[in-house]
Amino acid sequence: MKAAPRRGLPIFEAAVQVFSEKGFANTSIDEVAQRAGVAKGTIYYNYRSKKGLFVALIEEGIERLEKVINRELARRDEVIAQLQAVITAHFSFFDEHRDYCRLLLSEVWGLGHRWEKQVERLRTGPIRAIRNVLERGQAAGVIRRDIEVESAAVALFGAVAVTALNWVLFQGRSRFDEVAHTLKGIFLRGCQAHAADKDRETPVNGWEPAARPVGV
Amino acid sequence: MKAAPRRGLPIFEAAVQVFSEKGFANTSIDEVAQRAGVAKGTIYYNYRSKKGLFVALIEEGIERLEKVINRELARRDEVIAQLQAVITAHFSFFDEHRDYCRLLLSEVWGLGHRWEKQVERLRTGPIRAIRNVLERGQAAGVIRRDIEVESAAVALFGAVAVTALNWVLFQGRSRFDEVAHTLKGIFLRGCQAHAADKDRETPVNGWEPAARPVGV
Amino acid sequence: MKAAPRRGLPIFEAAVQVFSEKGFANTSIDEVAQRAGVAKGTIYYNYRSKKGLFVALIEEGIERLEKVINRELARRDEVIAQLQAVITAHFSFFDEHRDYCRLLLSEVWGLGHRWEKQVERLRTGPIRAIRNVLERGQAAGVIRRDIEVESAAVALFGAVAVTALNWVLFQGRSRFDEVAHTLKGIFLRGCQAHAADKDRETPVNGWEPAARPVGV
Amino acid sequence: MKAAPRRGLPIFEAAVQVFSEKGFANTSIDEVAQRAGVAKGTIYYNYRSKKGLFVALIEEGIERLEKVINRELARRDEVIAQLQAVITAHFSFFDEHRDYCRLLLSEVWGLGHRWEKQVERLRTGPIRAIRNVLERGQAAGVIRRDIEVESAAVALFGAVAVTALNWVLFQGRSRFDEVAHTLKGIFLRGCQAHAADKDRETPVNGWEPAARPVGV
DNA sequence: GATGAATGAGCTTTCATTCAT
DNA sequence: GATGAATGAAAGCTCATTCAT
């Protein structure tokens, strides 16, 4: 089990930095070693391979994100409050760990087949947690029943991730809480079952079933 | 005029395929050439470099996406109908061009600094189009005024992209129209100004200003 | 005999320019074509190959140099006057055709085996002409008999070529005629048999036979 | 400290061989590696690039030549004796290191702009040393005052280099010491101030100021 | 435990040359 | 006579990985 770092965690931290700056393929072990202040061989002494190092990084990140989300969920009972908290936590996490945000989005999510295992972990971890909340909400009648929870959870994850990345990269004039506020505003209201909706199962705006019309 | 492909567009199409399968860095020109059925030199005869080929691909894709969105917008007058159409078109586009979807998300968006120019094009093209609709909607009173349009537009883009990619990659049991329906359901209702909201400017659910609480 | 240029001689002139600027190996046919304002294929229509083009250039240059030298020789009878004229002509030629100077020295002379034929032409043309003058001078008693004419001719060629190149490249404060004057001063006096020398066959300064002493 | 060779210097020696045989542009790293008996990567581990390797070679050579010349100069007091020794040493050096001779002449001197730094080193090293001797000789009255020392030094360098190369490449029937003897004979007598010259400052043979007459 | 010299497969890119038009 | 699209061999260089110390 060579996967554990040495003393502190210089290699680990250095790797996160470099990987997130340059992406997996453009990161050289040489640079990680240099940034960590160790010899190149040392990295191979601690991690099986470049890929092994990367995977260790990613999994650690997913676990942390999952933990954060679950912690926030555990602190609340009500579904709506939980959703609010999830979005805040999620967004904060990406804001604090821009590195992970980039890696998760660009390397892991985008090139699915190459990191299948890790994508699966994302889907069964953080996204599943969100999904569960939505399902409980549907059962309790506070979440609309005409949305498909799986897609909604993924959409929420995607919206937060992409928005966070955008905010981090091009931090415009909008403040952090404004952005989070907007996200919550859209998603909560979008998912919430209003009093008036409870009896009808049809969407508010009667759109047609989207018969794949648009081409290029 | 070296930038234009030859007769049909075998190199172009082959490149999209391979790039989207393996990502930019893991794609070898050799493989593109082989897939296109031309010699390696031919690619360099038509495109300045590997990066040049990639950029040509991306920009073409962005333009097409923008066109699709603008076409749908032009066909409608009302903001809500436009938003619906945009989501459908957007989702359909990514569904039909899974390759672009992957490239846009993983290579271009995720590694912002390496493709700055192209990211900017995305932001000033498709995303800007969505943003404009939202702004007009706010002016007309049909879109909530307490959401920040820039973030909302990015969030919509991200939600559609990530969901589309998820759907494409792990196409579960959910049908295409269900997913699009869900997206529309969430975003439309999430952004729409309800009759009851018109007089109050405060959000439905009184959440706190998100004081950056969550750590790791 | 594809070796002859077309109408005027744009390809030829362009080739001289580019070859002398970049050397043989670093010159691309593409650039020659562009500088000549013709298509790449046209060069291959007129010259068998890159090497063929280069050789044609070099031989033309050697012929011109030989002609210049022979013309100056033919105009004079006396050996000393001929030598003076040869040095002037030689130096002038290199000054006016810096391109050839560079090509001759760096490509042809320096990499003997690759252009054997052309080096031979140099040795049997211009250098031979100088050598003949020296031989006639020795016969007439105006050139010292203790110098070996072959080496002396080569040394003169080398001194002029390297000095000309140096002058062209780093044209310092010294004027053209000063440099030529210096060259002539050294070589003429160095080769000339002085009145006092006529009876003794020994060198002025009694140096030892140079028993290959110096190492590294 | 990547610039220093490994143990002995197999790469270095192999590189000198191949570069001098084929010239810079026609030398492939593959061949150097093969000749040195190491893997291609090893060369890049020890030298930054092909150009870096070449430059290291050249500079080493220039330094050695300079050392040889300076050593011989230091052993003597008198200018004439020094000049003799310089020519002998110079010629011997090129004879023993035919490789350097070729490289210096063809690559470095001929294509000045590409190796500017190294050409400058040549000019400020070995050539400058010769020049200094000539200047001291002029001051002491043993070297003619009507020659320009800079040009004379370059001419001497060129004559020796080109003659040495010629001798090495086509070693005719003339013996080493004959050639060196000839060079010394010409240059010493050519530069030396004869007793008779001391009072007159005009050249022996009253040549005209060389009004750039010769064309092509 | 840690190192870093050595490796070699694999990559992008260049360019002399050909040939159908 | 001229063209220029297409070719493919060959080059410089990178870098994950190994292993003797």
Instruction: Say yes or no: D84 and D147 in one domain.
Output: yes
Instruction: Say yes or no: C160 and C107 in one domain.
Output: yes
| Residue-wise pLDDT tens digits, D97-133 | 888 888 888 888 877 778 889 988 998 999 999 999 9
Pairwise CB contact (< 8 Å): C165 & D110: yes
> Hey, which residues does B143 pair with through a beta bridge?
B192
**pLDDT at residue C114, as a whole number:** 83
**pLDDT at residue A173, as a whole number:** 64
> Which residues in chain B are closer than 8 Å to A154, comparing Cβ atoms?
162-163, 166-167
Mean pLDDT, all residues of chain D: 84
**Is C203 a member of any domain?**
no
Chain A's closest residue to B24, CA to CA, is: A25
**Is D202 a member of any domain?**
no
Secondary structure (3-state) at D210 = coil
**Is C132 a member of any domain?**
yes
Q: Does residue C44 approach strand F to less than 7 Å at its CB?
A: yes
| Sign of the four-CA dihedral B141, B146, B152, B156 | negative
**Is B168 a member of any domain?**
yes
Closest-CA residue to A152 (of A172, A122, A132): A132
**pLDDT at residue A216, as a whole number:** 34
Both structure tokens of B42? 């031919």
Instruction: Say yes or no: D41 and D65 in one domain.
Output: no
The nucleotide whose C1' lies nearest the CA of D43 is E6
Nearest to D106 among C110, C123, C204 (CB): C110
**pLDDT at residue A206, as a whole number:** 36
Instruction: Say yes or no: C13 and C83 in one domain.
Output: no
Chain A's closest residue to B66, CA to CA, is: A216
Domain count, chain A: 2
User: Mutating which of C18, C148, C149, C174 best tests the D interface, going by the most D Cβ atoms within 10 A?
Assistant: C148
Contact B93, B139 (CB under 8 A): no
Instruction: Say yes or no: A79 and A179 in one domain.
Output: yes
**Is C18 a member of any domain?**
yes
Percent of chain A with pLDDT over 90: 57
**pLDDT at residue C177, as a whole number:** 85
**Is C86 a member of any domain?**
yes
**Is D129 a member of any domain?**
yes
Percent of chain D with pLDDT over 90: 62
Pairwise CB contact (< 8 Å): B215 & A96: yes
Q: What long-range pairs does C85-90 form, CB within 8 A, spacing at least 24? A: C86/C129, C86/C130, C86/C133, C87/C156, C87/C160, C87/C180, C87/C183, C87/C184, C87/C187, C87/C188, C88/C180, C88/C184, C88/D210, C88/D213, C88/D214, C89/D213, C89/D214, C90/C65, C90/C126, C90/C157, C90/C160
Give, in order, the Cα–Cα distances in Å from A96 to each of A141, A182, B98: 34, 19, 31
Percent of chain A with pLDDT over 70: 84
Measured between CA atoms, how close is C35 to chain D, in angstroms?
A: 20
Q: What's the rounded Cα separation, in Å, for the pair C131 and C137?
A: 10
- Who among residues 13-42 of C has its Cβ near strand F, under 7 Å? 38-42
> Which residues in chain B are closer than 8 Å to A165, comparing Cβ atoms?
109-110, 112
**pLDDT at residue A106, as a whole number:** 81
Structural domain including C106 reads 58-195
> Which residues in chain A are closer than 8 Å to B172, comparing Cβ atoms?
150
> Hey, which residues does C192 pair with through a beta bridge?
C143
Contact C35, C18 (CB under 8 A): yes
Both structure tokens of B57? 């691909």
Angle between helix axes D79-96 and D126-140 (nearest 10 degrees) is: 160
Spell out the per-residue pLDDT of chain B, length 216, in tens: 334 444 446 899 899 999 988 889 999 999 999 999 999 999 999 999 999 999 999 999 999 999 999 999 999 999 999 999 999 999 999 888 888 888 888 888 887 778 889 989 998 999 999 999 999 999 999 999 999 999 999 999 999 999 998 888 877 666 888 899 999 999 999 998 875 544 444 444 433 343 333 433
Q: Does residue D49 approach strand F to less than 7 Å at its CB?
A: yes
Measured between CA atoms, how close is C46 to chain D, in angstroms?
A: 24
Contact D110, C106 (CB under 8 A): yes
- Our measurement of CA C49 to C1' E17, in angstroms, reads 8
- Who among residues 39-98 of B has its Cβ near strand F, under 7 Å? 39-42, 44-46
Instruction: Say yes or no: D86 and D183 in one domain.
Output: yes
Pairwise CB contact (< 8 Å): B192 & A204: yes
In degrees and rounded to multiples of 5, residue B190 shows phi and psi of -65, -30
CATH code assigned at C10: 1.10.10.60
Asked if the model's pLDDT at residue D5 lies above 90, the reply is: no
| Residue-wise pLDDT tens digits, B14-67 | 999 999 888 899 999 999 999 999 999 999 999 999 999 999 999 999 999 999
CA atoms within 13 A on the CB side of D34: 6
Instruction: Say yes or no: B130 and B77 in one domain.
Output: yes
Banded model confidence at residue A9, pLDDT cuts 50, 70, 90: low
Contact D203, C186 (CB under 8 A): no
In degrees and rounded to multiples of 5, residue C29 shows phi and psi of -60, -35
A-B CB pairs within 8 A amount to 263
Asked if the model's pLDDT at residue D28 lies above 60, the reply is: yes
Instruction: Say yes or no: B84 and B188 in one domain.
Output: yes
Q: What's the rounded Cα separation, in Å, for the pair D104 and D118?
A: 9
Instruction: Say yes or no: D82 and D26 in one domain.
Output: no
The nucleotide whose C1' lies nearest the CA of C43 is F2
Average pLDDT on D58-76 reads 93
Pairwise CB contact (< 8 Å): D189 & C189: yes
**Is D69 a member of any domain?**
yes
Model pTM? 0.82
Q: Does residue A9 approach strand F to less than 7 Å at its CB?
A: no
**Which of C99-103, C138-142, D147-151, D153-157 is least confident?**
C99-103
CA atoms within 13 A on the CB side of D185: 26
Instruction: Say yes or no: D160 and D70 in one domain.
Output: yes
**pLDDT at residue C168, as a whole number:** 82
Instruction: Say yes or no: D132 and D93 in one domain.
Output: yes
Chain B's closest residue to A189, CA to CA, is: B190
Q: Which residue has the tokens 């002998």?
A: D88
Pairwise CB contact (< 8 Å): B185 & A216: no
**pLDDT at residue D132, as a whole number:** 95
CATH code assigned at C185: 1.10.357.10
**pLDDT at residue B195, as a whole number:** 53
Banded model confidence at residue D9, pLDDT cuts 50, 70, 90: low
Asked if the model's pLDDT at residue A186 lies above 70, the reply is: yes
Question: Which helix or strand (DSSP H or E) is residue B10 part of?
Answer: helix B10-22
Residue ranges, chain C, pLDDT below 50: 1-8, 197-216
Instruction: Say yes or no: A96 and A189 in one domain.
Output: yes
